[in-house]
Structure 1
Amino acid sequence: MDVLDLARTQFAVTGSLHFLFVVLTLGLAPLVAIMHTKWARSGNPLHESMTRFWGQVYVINYALGIVTGLVMEFQFGLAWSGLSHYAGDVFGAPLAMETLVAFFLESTFLGLWIFGWGRLPKWAHLACIWLVTLTAYASAFYIMVANSFLQNPAGAVVSGGRMQLTDFGALLTNKALVFAFPHVVGAGLFTGGMVLVGASAYMLRRRTPDTEFFARSMRTGVVTAAIGVFVAMGFGYAQFAGIQAGKFGDDRNILAAVGLGFMIEIGQLLALVVLLVMLPMISSLPRRRWTHPILILMTPLPFVLSILGWMAREIGRQPWMIWERLSVADAMSPGLTSGMVTTSLIGFTAVLGLLAIVDYVLIARVIRRGPRALDLGATSPDDKPAPALSY
């Protein structure tokens, strides 16, 4: 592989690994906020247990995912300085907003929510998790604004050999954004819902004593997954029909077309299962033990679909970094050698891969322990949520 292909591979690998964290964050944040709202309104110990349990899963994923995001920021300076030089005045604006939202606002509100348990007033504490959710989606929105600019450079003109922002409103209403962002939101909800379903199926199959807890979690996950897959498919088809169909005619983009094809076929199959099988069986699904291995095996598939979709969007733009304005070759940093990029590729992949493994090992450990031994929200070493009732 030449240095350009190595640099592209590096960004594809690290971007895909980072997106595994992002898509789960987008799915779990609103679910935890809704659970907390139910607990604040009802005082039901079961809702408290669900908030603390799934909130702890969310915190683990967020904490490790934020580190992987730093690697993505480094890559623009290391491998793609040509992009920064040519379009940094435009492309950098939404990235700066995302950094402010994710690293300052979202992290601050999440810290208040984590350490405010039993210290903040009930409704102020609830407001913190909703602000975490809103800032998480705002962060995703600005990332999609930046990416959509690469797909369709709206709101900017070329002056003096560089792109300059002329209409920030056009950047926010980019035709490559209006369908893509809801599509990502749907993918996140689908992923988060299926994690609830798969984890609950695993615990129910082990005959956990917390049957009502995981039965309620499974039903919540089914509803969320159904909403998510419906939104993702609807906006996915609209996005493809509206702007992406013309980008796959080049033989060099056959990989993008294949990835898109797999995403559509697998997504359609999962949608049929969720909407026509799981949703109608929602009340009895926790008791149907024969379905639980199938539900467990389905859990990773939304992550696979998310990566396929992201790669199809990125590869489908090749050979352009900014569509018909800046090629990938011109965007690459000068002076890079194959050895330099190979070294950074191995290093980044090892670090992000290790973080992904640690993330899922820690989440699996929390799930296996169940809702009776949680660190989140504990005000004393012996503080544990009330046991859930069996049904």
Structure 2
Amino acid sequence: MDALDVARWQFGVTTVYHFLFVPLTIGLSVLVAILQTLWHRTGNERYLKLTKFYGKLFLINFAMGVVTGIVQEFQFGMNWSDYSRFVGDIFGAPLAIEALVAFFLESTFIGLWIFGWDRLPKRAHLASIWAAAIGTNLSAYFILAANSFMQNPVGYRINPDSGRAELTDFPAVLTNKVALITFPHTLAGSFLVAGSLVVAVGLYHVIRNRDSADTGAYRFATKFGSWVVLVASAAVLFTGDIQGKIMTEVQPMKMAAAEGLYTTESPASFSVLTIGSLDGSREVFALKIPYLLSYLGTGDPNGTVHGINDLQAQYATQYGAGSYTPIIPVTYWSFRFMIAFGMAAGAIALLVLWSQRKGRTPSSKWLLRAGLAMPVLPLLANSFGWIFTEMGRQPWIVFGEMLTRNGVSRSVSLAEVLTSFTAFTLIYATLAVIEVKLLLRYAKAGVPDVSDQPATDDTDDAERPLAFAY
């Protein structure tokens, strides 16, 4: 083990941990805004209760996401300074815009939303949560645009004197074909997570608190969240199909590794199960669906999909001697876990809707257990999706331009990386316990009492004090 191995582990752990909070923040910000809009339009008190209830869970998660996200950017200078030096001119632009525009938009209007319940006019207060949701989604786009450059470099040139990548076309970076499809795919995955949380909490109260005066609100939340999950599941499949075709075009090795496809095939079969040799160089056993991989990768059932061994030979000729193959078992299984966990959440949502058909009240303990597992399933799907995305690009940190081993900081020792890795892991473990306890406590508490809610007209009382709603 050397500093490179530990630096990769540290970045992988902190990235996956941070991304546990990101999709919930993205999706829940919009769902809370929709609930508040329903209250604004109808005046129905149950929507106000649900807005404040899920809004509190959103704020807890948002705070944790901010704390863990800050560490991400520090690591570029700590353990990956050679990478930052090489690509900073390009990578820094979308990240700077994300921080200066999207994040400040998001955080400013979240502050107005938190403190403005008893102060702002009703329409202005509603606009603040929508502005925060827009800022959250803009943040996601700029970060994904930066990451997409690593997958498919565009809009740049290599300075022969400095050896650095220099930005030549910023619009090309923002309109990278990988970013344009990764963004809606990520949003769909985020709504899958947020909708699952809404279902889980609502279903818990529907089954456990059957005689509660707020049962109607919980039943609506359960149905609302279930429909969000189903629509998001369809969107994930649709955008994932497009993303697979683009991936086959710009990163054919990643697609080949995802399917355990060792030799070029035309037509290519989709692998239901492939067992390879221990060194990952050949196929030992495979169960396949004919023509499906060709269609998923190229849109043509008879299309050609290049295999791992042929691509390895091509890259060795193009980039020099060395291995250009990712770890096949990791990419193969992470791709399948991503799909399986996401589909499982959709199946449970369908079951929850079926259990409430024609006004029925669900009571099954098995359904409750499945519902409580729902938020975990899309979180796992998102995590395995990121593992697949980043591990499938290896050994490149910037595809075709910089190998991962060349991006690590040369002056950072193994002991220093181990120290920071251990510290981050312990801190993140503590934060995880705090996050889970807070979410469980406030989720079990149920919707708040809003009987003392002030008048919801649009007049502004200059004498009314600023109030913290949570």
Same fold (TM over 0.5): yes
Alpha-carbon offset, residue 140 of structure 1: 0.3
Report the TM-score when normalising by structure 2.
0.77
Are residues 1:266 and 2:341 paired? Answer: yes
Let me know the Cα RMSD of the aligned residues: 2.2
Q: How does 1:163-178 map to 2 (within 5 A)?
A: 163-178=165-180
- Partner in structure 1 of residue 446 of structure 2: 370
- Partner in structure 2 of residue 181 of structure 1: 183
C-alpha separation in 2, matches of 1:311 and 1:253:
12
In the alignment, residue 417 of structure 2 is paired with which amino acid?
V
- Partner in structure 2 of residue 288 of structure 1: 362
Alpha-carbon offset, residue 254 of structure 1: 3.1
Contact 1:253 1:318 in 2 (8 A): no
Give SS of 1:371's match: coil
- Partner in structure 2 of residue 240 of structure 1: 244
User: Alpha carbons of 1:266 and 1:63: their partners in 2 closer, same or farther (altered >3 Å)?
Assistant: closer
Contact 1:28 1:58 in 2 (8 A): yes
Contact 1:215 1:286 in 2 (8 A): no
C-alpha separation in 1, matches of 2:36 and 2:341:
33
Q: Percent identity?
A: 38
In the alignment, residue 23 of structure 2 is paired with which amino acid?
V
Aligned match for 1:229, one of 228, 233, 247: 233
Alpha-carbon offset, residue 320 of structure 1: 0.7
- Partner in structure 1 of residue 203 of structure 2: 201
Pick which of 287-296 and 112-121 moved more: 287-296
The count of corresponding residues between Structure 1 and Structure 2 is 380
Are residues 1:36 and 2:71 paired? Answer: no
Higher helix share: 1
Considering Cα pairs closer than 8 Å and 6+ residues apart, tell me whether 1 or 2 has the greater RCO.
Answer: 1
Gaps of at least 5 residues in structure 2 are: 258-307, 309-324, 455-463
C-alpha separation in 2, matches of 1:135 and 1:6:
34
Contact 2:348 2:371 in 1 (8 A): no
- Partner in structure 1 of residue 51 of structure 2: 51
Aligned match for 2:221, one of 214, 217, 223: 217
- Partner in structure 1 of residue 164 of structure 2: 162
Alpha-carbon offset, residue 252 of structure 1: 2.8
Aligned match for 2:420, one of 316, 335, 344: 344
In the alignment, residue 2 of structure 1 is paired with which amino acid?
D
C-alpha separation in 2, matches of 1:116 and 1:384:
8
User: Alpha carbons of 1:158 and 1:253: their partners in 2 closer, same or farther (altered >3 Å)?
Assistant: farther
- Partner in structure 1 of residue 16 of structure 2: 16
Output one character per residue of 1:342-366: Cα deviation in whole Å (capped at 9) or x when no partner: 1111111222222222112111111
User: Alpha carbons of 1:384 and 1:144: their partners in 2 closer, same or farther (altered >3 Å)?
Assistant: closer
- Partner in structure 1 of residue 330 of structure 2: 255
C-alpha separation in 2, matches of 1:179 and 1:358:
34
Contact 1:87 1:164 in 2 (8 A): yes
Contact 1:201 1:293 in 2 (8 A): no
Give SS of 1:289's match: coil
Give SS of 1:266's match: helix
User: Alpha carbons of 1:272 and 1:206: their partners in 2 closer, same or farther (altered >3 Å)?
Assistant: closer
- Partner in structure 2 of residue 78 of structure 1: 78
Aligned match for 2:391, one of 300, 315, 319: 315
Give SS of 1:110's match: helix
In the alignment, residue 26 of structure 2 is paired with which amino acid?
L
